[in-house]
Structure 1
Amino acid sequence: MAGVDGVPEPHTGWTFVTNHARVLAAIADNRSARVRDIAARCRLTERAVQKIIADLEQGGYLSHTRHGRGNTYDIDATRILRHPAEAGLTVASLLSMLVRDEAERQERVDERVREG
């Protein structure tokens, strides 16, 4: 949900998935997504998404190529996740979990729309 000024309402409390993972999953779903669209999907501000993209690029997880006024992103799916508890897990393994969940969630929504 967006507030009066169009900025997504912040989430309070803790979550299981980090904003960095959400942004990476959104980019994996659409490699030419605009920052505005990523922000809306992840319920973040555009500024927060820009910072996360910069973090991911600095860490070597993401790169971009400029095409006119937009970007096309490339994800290095072979990169190892940063936290020691995930030692050996790659970006690909994380994204396969997140993207599969998103696809299943969308199927359920589509099914409810057809039934409703």
Structure 2
Amino acid sequence: MTAAPEPHTGWTFLTNHARVLSAVAIEPTLRIRDIAAHCRLTERAVQKILADLEKDGYLTHTRRGRSNTYRVSDGTILRHPAEAGLTVSDLLGMLARHDAEHAEDGAPVSEDRVRLQ
């Protein structure tokens, strides 16, 4: 397990729901504790967010032994009227392009790492 990043203070542009959705799109087999560490959230918060996303059709999960594999529903329309017509795929594609342009470790994150089903 990787160490949790330092907490962030102040406001941000992306919601916790967007961060969690992005994390499971990149790596569908992440454990809740790893999603929590990556997104700087508690495990309980991640569980609630995953339940919200699944309830509203943004993702599904398959239980495999003691772990889950998540599947993002790429055609689902974003909820806010200001994003009318944008899909989950559009959002994740924008985030992937940003990651590719601003990779911290020098190795760009390619768009094909975002696994949409």
User: So what's the TM-score if we normalise by structure 2?
Assistant: 0.81
Deviations 1:3-55 (A, max 9, x none): xxx87664332111111000001001001111111111111111111111011
Aligned to 2:105: 109
Mapped contact 2:75–2:89 kept (Cα < 8 A): yes
Q: Which structure has the bigger radius of gyration?
A: 1
Q: Is structure 2 residue 66 aligned with structure 1 residue 55?
A: no
More helix by share: 1
Alignment of 1:1-116 (within 5 A): 10-106=7-103, 108-110=104-106
Larger RCO, structures 1/2 (Cα 8 Å, 6+ apart): 2
Q: The residue matched to 1:65 in structure 2 has which SS?
A: strand
Structure 1 consecutive aligned stretches of length 4 or more whose deviation exceeds 4 Å: 6-10
Give the letter for the 1:109 counterpart. Answer: D
Paired positions, count: 105
Percent identical residues: 66
**C-alpha separation between the residues in 2 aligned to 1:43 and 1:98?**
17
What root-mean-square deviation, in Å, do the aligned CA atoms of Structure 1 and Structure 2 show? 1.8
Mapped contact 2:19–2:39 kept (Cα < 8 A): yes
Q: Provide structure 1 residue ranges, at least 5 long, that are not aligned to the other structure.
A: 1-5, 112-116
Deviation at 1:99, TM superposition (A): 2.0
